[in-house]
Amino acid sequence: MVIYFKTKKLQKICNNRTESIKKFGPKMARKLQQRLMELKAASCLDDISRVPPSRCHQLSGNRNGQLSVDLEHPYRLLFIPANNPIPVTQDGGMEWAKVTEIEIVEIADTH
């Protein structure tokens, strides 16, 4: 998949191992790099597992429209589809098999 970043700062943290270790520590930085590699290697969002360990899933409430994958508990890598327009199914849901671009928006504890 093609990956974009909401901010230059977030891009630097995600793409620079030294920066991610400085911000999150070695264990979480390793997990972040692993998840980013999984996302980059996938051809579409449907290729990412919805069961542990990555547990890709849509969020609801005030984060409706965002998706997340697990990092080190309780942190998650949050992103949105970046396809324009966002592919939807006939019932209005997101068509995961056609989402080929995402934008990383945050690394956060959503609980």
**Domains of the chain and any CATH numbers:** 2-109 (3.30.2310.20)
What does the CA dihedral 67, 53, 110, 76 come to, rounded to 10 degrees? Answer: -80
Q: Residue 15: phi, psi to the nearest 5?
A: -100, -5
Neighbours of 103 (CB within 10 A): 16
Q: Amino acid identity of 92?
A: G
What pLDDT is attached to residue 49? 86
pLDDT in tens, 52-87: 888 999 999 999 999 999 999 999 999 999 999 999
pLDDT in tens, 9-50: 999 999 999 999 999 999 999 999 999 999 999 999 999 988
